[in-house]
Structures are given as structure tokens and as C-alpha cells.
Copies of this chain bind each other. A is one copy, B any other.
Amino acid sequence: MFEGELVDVICINQSSLSSQINTKLLISEKPIFICVISYTATSENPGITIAGANPNLIKYTSPADAEFLYYGHCKCINAVPITPDGKPTPAIITRTALQLSGIPFLVVDAGSKIKPLIPYISFNMESGENIRFGKAMDISNIKKAFEYGTLLGSQLAKVNDFVIIGESIPGGTTTALGVLSALGINAKFKVSSSMPENPHHLKNQIVSEGMQNANIHFGELRNDPFTAISVLGDPMMPAVAGIVNGIINYGGKVMLAGGTQMCSIIAILKSLKCPLNGLCIGTTSYVADDPSSDLVNLLKQLTNDVPIYTTDLHMMESSKLGLQAFAKGFVKEGVGAGGISIMAIVKSKGQIHGNILLRAIEEEYIKVLMEVM
């Protein structure tokens, strides 16, 4: 068994682990990656997300990401998952890490508006509404998603000793801000963004309007997380919270692979009094080191028992401007990119590290660009 330091993976919120990673928690023989795709009309508020080249395309973002994991190209839309100026979807990192490591994956559809052309696990949910108007989704759908998630999680945990859960939902940091606020967590100016100029004021305004329209005050729903989601959340949240619940109750280990959005999942689980043992967060250093958000502080308000692992993907060293963008505040994370990179590094016992990943990501990026040439 591997002991010692892993290149390019560090724990950033637990001092005893920070210099030398605690490999015990992350060691896994049979990990699996679950990508939960979803949609909230909150993403339609102008200026809220970089995902999707234009507003009409946002709904294709998450199914296109899911298709990219399987095929290396998109199917539901005849386009490459790259902004016109060359910034790729983080799914390019996820696909590369999955292929290098041989880690299997499944996609869960929890309310995406366009269905991906792949085999996917359906939770039979509607997409989420714009939380600005004070209503996101029905409570019955939330309960169903949590129940289905729990059922799925317990099946996954029977054969996989570690489950990495990522998400793709444009607008998801705004709904995270909403639910965290309803649950009494001070998240203003702390949630991350897919853009270097984090539109905090716009997010704060959308959440404020939503709370006003629903007649809800900060922290008022701290003991009623399902209502918090129904007012200010999105369909990804109860689905992911349920999957985590199913796994942890079975005694399994889970990594929430994502940025500040994943704190809303932990807040929901904590409010439901679900145990949090065996749980960690895994993300990119681009989220962790982001001066415009504060993942560590958000999590600290919730618990001291969930470690945050981050990985440096050396994107700044890439010769590709589109990949350098990750290190310059664009995209940063998504589709579980950071978490699955961490597991690829850990599972390989260090054979895979940031530089090897970067070279492989560059190759994948060139392949995608070739398609439009």
C-alpha cells in the first residue's frame, strides 16, 4: 500500500494532513465516478454563467458534458464544448483522468432539460426553475430525488469502495448561495464562479429577490433543508445528497468532486442529521486558491471533519491558451474534474501526476480542436 506524499495532491483544511496527505482515506481499489447532470433556469439570468456560448445553448451544457465523457465529442448538439475563444469544458479534464486511470463512470440525470444521447441513470425529475422568483421545485420531487439517490448510493457502495460524485449544472453556484443562506450559512462573496470577474452582486441580488418573493429570511430554514431546496435550490442537490447518504449509511467512502457548490450538499446533509464520516471534498487548486471565493471558510462554518483535497493541474504551464485559462480564473472546475484527477493520481500511487495529466489533457484538447478545423 502506498504511504507518503503524493505529488500534486494536498489537503488544505486539516493541519495534520496538509504537508503529507492522509492516504488512508483516499486509498481505493474499486472507485467509481458518478456525474450528476441537471438544469436550473437560474442560469438564464444574464451574466450568471460562462457555460454555453449563448443563452439558448446553456441547456445543452450538461448533456453535452455527459456525452463528451463517453464519446470525446458531443451528440445532442453539433458543436464542440469550447467557447468561441478556445476555453474548453472541464469535462476534457474529467475524460482524460478517467481514461488514464481506468476508473469507470455512470451518469445520473437529475432534471437536465435536454437528455444526453448516452445510457444514463434517470431520476425522472423536472428541471429547476429560476430561484429569483422564489420557487425552484416541488417538495415531492426533492423527496423522490433524495430517496432515489439513497437507493442508488447503497447499491453503488456494495461493490465500489469509493465513489466520486461530480456535477454539471450551469448556474449552480447561485443556487448554492441560495440554499446556504436559507440554512444560515454566510455564503455571500464566498461562492465560486466560472468567470474571473465573479458576479457576486448579481448572485446576491437574485438570492435576495428569491428570498423576498418566498418570504424567507436568512437561516430561517436551517432545520428544513428540503424546503430550502424547493425555494432556492436546484434538482442536483437532493440527488447528490441522497447518493452520499446511501453510500455513507452503507459504510462507504465518498468524495464530493467540485467547488463551493458541494458545500450546499454538506449543509443539506448536516441539516438532515446524516452522518458525514467517510466524506471529503476534492477540487482543483483553481477553486481552492481563488481569491474571489472562499471554499475553506464555507466548509469551516459547517464542519471540521470533512477534509478538502486539491490538485494542481499545472495548466499555467500549458502552451495552449485555452487550457491556461483554467489557471486564470475561467471555468476552474466542473464535471468532477478536480476530484477525478485526484483519484487518478491516488489510484496510480503517484504514477499519474499533474504533469502527466496535463500532457494527456493537451492531447485531448487538440483532438477536440481538430474537429472544428
Give residues in A with beta carbon < 8 Å to B: 30, 32, 70, 102-106, 108-109, 115, 117-124, 148-149, 151-152, 155-156, 158-160
B70 touches A104 (CB 8 A): no
A151 to B66, CA, bound (A): 13
B158 touches A103 (CB 8 A): yes
Q: How many copies does the complex hold?
A: 2
B152 touches A119 (CB 8 A): yes
- A32-B119 contact given A70-B151, A151-B70, CB 8 Å threshold: no
- A104-B156 contact given A118-B151, A119-B122, A151-B70, CB 8 Å threshold: yes
A264 to B181, CA, bound (A): 57
Contact pick for A105, options B108, B117, B124, B155, CB 8 Å: B155
A104 touches B148 (CB 8 A): no
- Contact residues in B for A155 (Cβ distance below 8 Å): 104-106
Closest 10 CB pairs of A and B: A104-B158, A119-B148, A104-B155, A122-B122, A119-B152, A30-B159, A104-B159, A121-B121, A119-B121, A119-B123
- Beyond A105-B155, A117-B124, A159-B160, 10 additional pairs, beta carbon < 8 A: A70-B151, A104-B155, A104-B156, A115-B122, A119-B122, A119-B123, A119-B148, A119-B149, A119-B152, A120-B122
Closest residue on chain B to residue A102 by CB atoms: B158
A194 to B99, CA, bound (A): 44
- Contact residues in B for A30 (Cβ distance below 8 Å): 30, 159
- Contact residues in B for A149 (Cβ distance below 8 Å): 119
- Contact residues in B for A115 (Cβ distance below 8 Å): 122, 124
- Contact residues in B for A117 (Cβ distance below 8 Å): 124
A117 to B122, CA, bound (A): 10
Please give the distance in Å from A283's CB to the nearest CB on chain B: 24
- A120-B119 contact given A104-B158, A104-B159, A155-B104, CB 8 Å threshold: no
A109 to B122, CA, bound (A): 10
A269 to B143, CA, bound (A): 41
A108 to B115, CA, bound (A): 16
A121 to B121, CA, bound (A): 4
- Can you list 20 A-B pairs, Cβ within 8 angstroms, ordered by A? A30-B30, A30-B159, A32-B159, A70-B151, A103-B158, A104-B155, A104-B156, A105-B155, A106-B121, A108-B119, A109-B122, A117-B124, A119-B123, A119-B148, A120-B121, A121-B121, A121-B122, A122-B122, A159-B159, A159-B160
A159 to B34, CA, bound (A): 13
B106 touches A148 (CB 8 A): no
Please give the distance in Å from A247's CB to the nearest CB on chain B: 12
A209 to B158, CA, bound (A): 47
Closest residue on chain B to residue A155 by CB atoms: B104
- Contact residues in B for A105 (Cβ distance below 8 Å): 155
Please give the distance in Å from A72's CB to the nearest CB on chain B: 12
- Contact residues in B for A118 (Cβ distance below 8 Å): 148, 151
- Contact residues in B for A103 (Cβ distance below 8 Å): 158
